[in-house]
Chain A
């Protein structure tokens, strides 16, 4: 029963392949500095799309070019197939949820949500009905008469969201909307945002520096660094198959080893020489036409740790052991490198009883878990 309802709803509000936003060669230059390098991006209808990157990576500038608050130095922005590059913000069929929420302090919650409908001269009865609906969606129907300063942070956030979706825009852009909330509330709102996005069936473009938020909520993620989109992919691919050293290092925790990448096709199994460690097995993360400097990427939880002598593999010495509840984090000295490995508490108790600093351990992994990239 439940499954049926979900799939029925998914028919109309699930991501499609039709593009909601198309970006071509878009760039922004500030006083001789390229904040956003020319980039192409396609965001699909009903998609929960995240733009993820550290502060100063250009994600906010990119978002502001989509909304029209910034004029691009080059390139085009298309919204639902229509070129809006020269269309002013107020005539673009998109809304923004601001980091500060930007609720109008002189208006009540209801007036805030109804604001756009009134500005756009929607008939009063219709406007009231839609405003009530939007407030119901964010479960604030009972607080319509309050002023924003009488609300909690979480409630303001919901009002801002209701205000952004009330007119049924094609796209809603969210600028680090959970930044001001405490940890507990963030978790709740992550789930809520995702639920509401599915319910209203609007494309969400979510700008954040929080990789966990991006991973848990997104259909697809664009990782940005220094004005360049590093990779666009689903959360699993971003995490398991990072295409650049930056993506691997920024998302989760990853061992990054400098290696000489041999020529070969993407997915080809190769062995690379790591000074002081020896030959390590891995696969090429991309096609390498000629040998060049690259990085071997290895997630800590993909390393299998056993007592030395129990299997073949690289031998390392445990330097520190840190208990985190569900798992242990180990720092292992291998030659001149320090590798991080994580072992679940169950595995440690079962297979590595009495493990202590200074113990010699054997480290191994499947070749496909060690990816070699050259960017």
Chain B
């Protein structure tokens, strides 16, 4: 029995990681097609950085994702701190409203937003992308922050007030340091949600504000160039660096705390 489970576990891991390994390997493939392997080259990385339109979409995606993540995290902190203390009527309804966009199919939200923007004559572009991505990443950020805020002793802010803190000082000296891991997690989660989004972007991007996933998706029709593999490999590397940075800082904190 154990051997069967063991075998399945290995199979799952192979299935999960083979595409990632394949992307990295083929990004160095001299053949120019994913069906043969003709030796190593850095040609696709050079082509990638020379592809101005692809780099433009990368910049758009990064900009939208940074704005979305930052705004979602700030609003999420407010929601989380408010709801952690608020025990009155309508709390359940408010929580449900926050989580609702997670349940409603994204394509419905996309269509709905598009009609809102066209009737209000808001031009499609960075702004509409950010607003659309906010709808899908805000619930995630809020939920991550809320689970952290709910664990805080409700006496802590009162103690801070009692010891002379203004509301802003209570935030900077007590809430923020205690919520920092959740803030980082919420920001990264919102960032990836926005960065990899296709459905909302399909409806909300305008001329000149095509996002990277849209560009890659549309290049399916013309045939994927190996530069996409190079881009994929670079994104994997970036993700890995972020995970390691966050992971290492977390590890260091755990080590420091256990030292004494």
Q: Which of B153, B164, B166, B169 is packed against the most chain A CB atoms within 10 Å?
A: B164
- Residues from chain A with a CB closer than 8 A to the CB of B164 are 90-91, 116, 119-120
CA–CA, A147 and B257, complex, Å = 8
A104 at the interface (CB under 8 A from B): yes
Q: Which partner residue on chain B sits nearest A94 by CB separation?
A: B162
Whether a CB of chain A sits under 8 angstroms from the CB of B158 is yes
Given contacts A96-B159, A100-B155, contact A106 B177 (CB under 8 A): yes
A119-B165, A120-B164 as given contacts; A69 in contact with B260, CB under 8 Å: no
B156 at the interface (CB under 8 A from A): yes
Report yes or no: A102 in contact with B173, Cβ–Cβ below 8 A: no
Cβ–Cβ contact B166 & A90, under 8 A? yes
| Residues of chain A with a CB closer than 8 A to B156's CB | 102, 104
- Excluding A89-B162, A96-B159, 4 further A-B contacts by CB distance (< 8 Å) are A67-B162, A88-B161, A115-B163, A147-B260
Residue in chain B with minimal CB distance to A99: B155
Given the known inter-chain contacts A96-B159, A145-B260, please indicate yes or no for A102 contacting B166, CB distance below 8 A. Answer: no
The 8 A-B residue pairs with the shortest CB-CB distance, nearest first, are A102-B155, A102-B159, A116-B163, A119-B164, A98-B155, A106-B177, A90-B164, A89-B161
Could you pull out 28 A-B pairs where Cβ atoms are within 8 angstroms?
A: A69-B158, A89-B158, A90-B163, A94-B162, A95-B162, A96-B158, A96-B159, A96-B162, A98-B155, A98-B159, A99-B155, A100-B155, A102-B153, A102-B159, A104-B156, A104-B159, A104-B174, A104-B178, A105-B178, A106-B178, A115-B163, A115-B173, A116-B163, A119-B163, A119-B164, A119-B173, A120-B164, A145-B260
Tell me the A88-136 residues at the B interface (CB within 8 Å).
88-91, 94-96, 98-100, 102, 104-106, 115-116, 119-120
The total of interchain contacts (Cβ-Cβ below 8 angstroms) comes to 56
Q: How far is the CA of A119 from the CA of B161 in the complex (A)?
A: 10
Bound-state CA distance A115–B173 (Å) is 9
Contact residue range for chain B? 10 to 19
A146 touches B153 (CB 8 A): no
- Does A163 belong to the interface (CB within 8 Å)? yes
Given A90-B162, A90-B164, A96-B162: A119 and B153 within 8 A (CB)? no
Q: Kindly state the separation between the CA atoms of A17 and B177 in the bound complex, as whole angstroms.
A: 44
Q: Which of B161, B174, B178 contacts A90 (CB 8 A)?
A: B161
Instruction: Write out the residue numbers on chain B whose beta carbons fall within 8 Å of the beta carbon of A100.
Output: 153, 155
* A106 and B169 alpha carbons, distance in the complex (Å): 15
Instruction: Verify A163–B163 contact, CB threshold 8 A.
Output: yes
The complex places the Cα of A150 from the Cα of B260 at a distance, in Å, of 9
* Total number of A residues with any Cβ neighbor in B under 8 Å: 25
Chain B CB within 10 A, most for which of A90, A95, A99, A150: A90
Provide the bound-state CA to CA distance between A104 and B257, in Å. Answer: 15
CB neighbours (8 Å) of B159 from chain A are: 96, 98, 102, 104
- Complex Cα spacing A100 to B169, Å: 21
By a CB distance below 8 angstroms, the chain A residues around B166 are: 90
- Chain B residues closer than 8 Å to A91, beta-carbon distance: 164
Cβ–Cβ < 8 Å partners of B160 in chain A: 104, 115
Task: Kindly report which residue of chain A lies nearest to residue B257, judged by CB atoms.
Answer: A147
Residues from chain B with Cβ under 8 Å of A147 in the complex: 257, 260
A116's nearest neighbour on chain B, judged by CB, is: B163
Q: Is the CB of B158 within 8 A of A98?
A: yes
Which of A67, A91, A102, A106 has the most C-beta atoms of chain B within 10 angstroms of its own C-beta?
A102
Chain B residues, CB < 8 A from A119: 163-165, 169, 173
Instruction: Give Cα A88–Cα B170 distance, bound, in whole angstroms.
Output: 14
Residues in B with CB closer than 8 Å to A102 are 153, 155-156, 158-159
Collect the chain B residues with CB atoms within 8 Å of residue A120's CB.
164
A residues less than 8 Å from B162 (CB atoms): 67, 89-90, 94-96
Q: Mark B140-157, 1 if CB is under 8 A from A, else 0.
A: 000000000000010110
Q: In chain B, what residue has the closest Cβ to A95?
A: B162
Cα–Cα distance between A115 and B165 once the two chains are bound (Å): 10
Measured CA separation A98–B156 after assembly (Å) = 9
A329 to B147, CA, bound (A): 53
* Least Cβ–Cβ distance between B159 and chain A, in angstroms: 4
Chain B residues, Cβ within 8 Å of A99: 155
Chain B proximity mask over A21-35: 1 for CB below 8 Å, otherwise 0: 000000000000000
Q: Note all chain B residues with C-beta closer than 8 A to A94.
A: 162
Closest to B167 in A: A90
Residues facing A in B169-197 (CB within 8 A) are 169, 173-174, 177-178
Which residues of A sit under 8 angstroms from B169, Cβ to Cβ?
A: 119
Chain B contacts for A89, CB-based, 8 A: 158, 161-162
A156 to B257 CA separation, bound complex (whole angstroms): 17
Within the complex, what minimum Cβ distance (angstroms) separates B230 from chain A? 42
CA distance A63 to B162 in the complex (A): 13
Q: How far is the CA of A98 from the CA of B159 in the complex (A)?
A: 8
**Hey, which chain A residues are within 8 Å of B177, CB to CB?**
106
Q: Say which residue of A95, A106, A145, A146 sits within 8 Å of B163 (CB atoms).
A: A95
Report yes or no: B260 in contact with A90, Cβ–Cβ below 8 A: no
Q: Are B165 and A90 in contact (CB under 8 A)?
A: yes
Q: Which single residue of chain A is at the shortest CB-CB distance from B163?
A: A116
Q: How far is the CB of A130 from chain B (nearest CB, A)?
A: 14
Give the complex CA separation of A91 and B160 in angstroms: 12
A307 to B161 CA separation, bound complex (whole angstroms): 64
List B contacts of A104 (CB < 8 A). 156, 159-160, 174, 178
